[in-house]
Structure 1
Amino acid sequence: MSQIADSIQIRNTIFKNRIIKGAMSEALANHEGQPNELHIGLYEAWAKGGLGCAITGNVMVNIAAKNEPGVVAIETERDLAKLQQWAAVGKRYGMVQLIQLSHPGRQCPKGLNKETVAPSAVPFSPMLATMFGTPRELTHDEILDIIQRFATAAAVCEKAGFEGVQLHGAHGYLISQFLSPLTNKRTDQWGGSIENRTRFLLEIYKSVRAATSENFIISVKLNSADFQRGGITEDDVITVFKTIDEAGIDIIEISGGTYEAPAMAGAKAESRKASTIAREAYFLEFAEKIRQHVSCKLMVTGGFRTVAGMNAALESGACDFIGIARPLAVETDLTNRLIAGNDVRYAVNQIKTGIPFVDKMAIMEIIWYAAQFKAIGQGKKPNPKLSPLIVFLNYAKGNIKAVVKGRVNSRKSA
Structure 2
Amino acid sequence: MSQNFLSSYSFSNGLNVKNRVVMPPMTTQSSFHNGMVTSDEIAYYAMRAGGPGMIITGVANVSAGGKGFEGELSVTNDEMIPGLQKLATAIKQDGTKAILQIFHAGRKSTSSILRGAQPVSASALKASYPADSELPRALTHEEILQIIKDFAEATRRAILAGFDGVELHGANTYLLQQFFSENSNQRSDEWGGSLEKRLKFPLLVIDSVNQMVKKHTQNPFVVGYRLSPEEIETPGIRLADSLYLVDQIKNKVDYIHLSIGNYKRTSLNDEATKATLISQFSARTKGFVPLIGIGSVEQPEEAAKVMADGADFVAIGRELIREPKWVQKVASGDIASIRTKVSPLDTEELRIPSVMQDYLKESFNSVMHYTTDTSTAQYYEDTPAPMENFKKL
Alignment TM-score, normalising by the size of structure 2:
0.79
Do the aligned partners of residues 5 and 249 (structure 1) sit closer, same or farther apart at CA in structure 2, a change above 3 Å counting?
Answer: same
Task: Find the counterpart in structure 1 of residue 279 from structure 2.
Answer: 285
Structure with the higher fraction of residues in helix conformation: 1
Consecutive unaligned residues of structure 1, counting only runs of 5 or more, are 257-262, 349-366, 375-381, 388-414
Task: Find the counterpart in structure 1 of residue 322 from structure 2.
Answer: 330
Question: Which has the higher relative contact order, 1 or 2, with Cα contacts under 8 A spaced 6 or more apart?
Answer: 1
Do the aligned partners of residues 312 and 124 (structure 1) sit closer, same or farther apart at CA in structure 2, a change above 3 Å counting?
Answer: closer
Do the aligned partners of residues 160 and 228 (structure 1) sit closer, same or farther apart at CA in structure 2, a change above 3 Å counting?
Answer: same
- The question of 1:136 aligning with 2:137 is answered yes
Task: Find the counterpart in structure 2 of residue 370 from structure 1.
Answer: 356
Do the aligned partners of residues 164 and 386 (structure 1) sit closer, same or farther apart at CA in structure 2, a change above 3 Å counting?
Answer: farther
SS at match of 1:101: strand
- The question of 1:26 aligning with 2:28 is answered yes
The alpha carbon displacement at 1:329 in A equals 1.5
Do the aligned partners of residues 301 and 120 (structure 1) sit closer, same or farther apart at CA in structure 2, a change above 3 Å counting?
Answer: same
Q: Which amino acid aligns with 1:346?
A: T
The alpha carbon displacement at 1:229 in A equals 3.0
The alpha carbon displacement at 1:243 in A equals 0.7
d(CA) in 2 for partners of 1:90 and 1:71? Answer: 18
1:40 and 1:86 in contact (8 A); partners too: yes
2:263 and 2:306 in contact (8 A); partners too: no
Task: Find the counterpart in structure 1 of residue 17 from structure 2.
Answer: 15
Task: Find the counterpart in structure 1 of residue 244 from structure 2.
Answer: 239
2:110 and 2:119 in contact (8 A); partners too: no
d(CA) in 2 for partners of 1:106 and 1:54? Answer: 27
Task: Find the counterpart in structure 1 of residue 256 from structure 2.
Answer: 252
Query: Where do residues 174-253 of structure 1 align in structure 2 (5 Å cutoff)?
Result: 174-212=175-213, 213=217, 215-246=220-251, 248-253=252-257
The alpha carbon displacement at 1:386 in A equals 7.5
SS at match of 1:88: helix
1:2 and 1:314 in contact (8 A); partners too: no
Cα offsets for 1:10-33 (capped at 9, x unmatched): 223211111101111111111111
Consecutive unaligned residues of structure 2, counting only runs of 5 or more, are 343-352, 361-367, 374-393
d(CA) in 1 for partners of 2:122 and 2:21? Answer: 35
SS at match of 2:29: coil
The alpha carbon displacement at 1:74 in A equals 0.8
Cα offsets for 1:319-364 (capped at 9, x unmatched): 110011111122111222233453864269xxxxxxxxxxxxxxxx
Alignment TM-score, normalising by the size of structure 1:
0.75
2:99 and 2:165 in contact (8 A); partners too: yes
SS at match of 2:60: strand
d(CA) in 2 for partners of 1:300 and 1:337? Answer: 21
Q: Which amino acid aligns with 1:287?
A: F
Aligned match for 1:118, one of 118, 121, 127: 121
1:57 and 1:100 in contact (8 A); partners too: yes
Do the aligned partners of residues 255 and 286 (structure 1) sit closer, same or farther apart at CA in structure 2, a change above 3 Å counting?
Answer: farther
Q: Which amino acid aligns with 2:321?
A: A
2:66 and 2:103 in contact (8 A); partners too: no
d(CA) in 2 for partners of 1:196 and 1:17? Answer: 38
The alpha carbon displacement at 1:287 in A equals 2.9
1:106 and 1:174 in contact (8 A); partners too: yes
Seq. identity, %:
27
Q: Which amino acid aligns with 1:83?
A: L
The alpha carbon displacement at 1:4 in A equals 1.3
The alpha carbon displacement at 1:265 in A equals 12
Do the aligned partners of residues 230 and 59 (structure 1) sit closer, same or farther apart at CA in structure 2, a change above 3 Å counting?
Answer: same
d(CA) in 1 for partners of 2:257 and 2:94? Answer: 24
Do the aligned partners of residues 2 and 9 (structure 1) sit closer, same or farther apart at CA in structure 2, a change above 3 Å counting?
Answer: farther
Query: Where do residues 10-89 of structure 1 align in structure 2 (5 Å cutoff)?
Result: 10=11, 11-48=13-50, 50-89=51-90
CA-atom RMSD, angstroms? Answer: 3.3
d(CA) in 2 for partners of 1:369 and 1:345? Answer: 22
SS at match of 1:337: helix
Across the two proteins, how many residue pairs are aligned to each other? 345
Do the aligned partners of residues 79 and 266 (structure 1) sit closer, same or farther apart at CA in structure 2, a change above 3 Å counting?
Answer: farther
